Amino acid sequence: MNLPLTPALGAIMVVLALAGAAVAWTGRLGFGRDVLVACARAAVQLAAVSLVIVWVVRSWSWVALFLLVMYGVAAGTAGRRVTAGRGAAWAALPLAAGAGPVLGLLVGTGVVPAGGITVIPVAGILLGGCMTATALAGRRALDELEQRRGEVEAALSIGFTDREAALEICRPAAARALVPALDQTRTVGLVTLPGAFVGMLLGGADPVQAGAVQLLVLIALLAAEAAAVLVTIELAARGRFRRPGAGSDSPGTAAAAPRRPRRLPRPWRR
């Protein structure tokens, strides 16, 4: 399907962006300006990618550089969503743990052809999913540890280690970061027709082939996001993610003697 590049197309996109911002503003959702900024950034970034992508895929060196830029932007975005502190840099680890092995398996086995034109979009899908999962899991983990610090203290008082106490409290809530990916996979074909499937159909592919590709993408996303969430929860429990002013001691440095007063691990200390 080819959309005609007419003034009407641009006008409709502007109207929709303004409408989304207006709804967010009048409903006091707090993201009116962010809607406009996101739409503007998307337009500029997609225009830039459209101009350079054909040139980039001709060389593996440029493909590798492009992937590194994608990875850096995704890690930075996820880290800022989790915390404004220096611990935000740790968000790079869950993204690598989730997207890296899955992409390596797909390319290494030949399921995804080893060409820039295929590797870049698949890597983008995996990084995008891991970015969202990491941000959701990290924020939920820190929120739980902060709001339920009394329960963490109680767990410590009965002999739990710092990491064990933190995991016991934050893991159930943080693990729910997988719910969007699970729902998308469960309802595919019934509620949603994802982009890979629709794009291949519009490009003339066989419906069975398009369905197989989409299924591969969904399963790969689930595997990558599960790994990213697991690593994110582990980092939060070990105090690698922390909010500004939360202290500098890691959970692992707390005293081991059961009767000695223990200091709260980094993420939820006041």
Render pLDDT for 103-141 as a digit per residue (tens, 0 to 9).
999 999 998 888 888 899 899 999 999 999 999 999 999
Select the highest-mean-pLDDT range: 93-107, 151-165, 241-255.
93-107
Cα–Cα distances in angstroms (integers) from residue 193 to residues 186, 217, 219, in the given order: 12, 13, 15
pTM of the model: 0.80
pLDDT at 19: 94
Burial of 241 (0-12, 13-18, 19+ CB in 10 A): buried
pLDDT at 156: 87
- Reading the block at residue 126, the tokens are 């995996």
Give one word for 57, left, alpha or beta, with left for phi > 0 and alpha for psi -120 to 50.
alpha
Give the relative orientation of helices 162-174 and 116-147 as an angle to the nearest 10 degrees: 120
Distance between CA atoms of residues 76 and 90, nearest Å:
9
Q: 259 pLDDT band (50/70/90 cuts)?
A: very low
What are the start-end ranges of the E strands in 197-249?
none
SS3 readout for 75-94: HHHHHHHHCCCHHHHHHHHH
Question: What mean pLDDT comes out for the span 227-243?
Answer: 90
Q: Mean pLDDT, the chain, as a whole number?
A: 83
pLDDT at 253: 31
pLDDT digits (tens, 9 = 90+) for 30-48: 888 899 999 999 989 888 8
pLDDT at 139: 92
- Reading the block at residue 65, the tokens are 């550089």
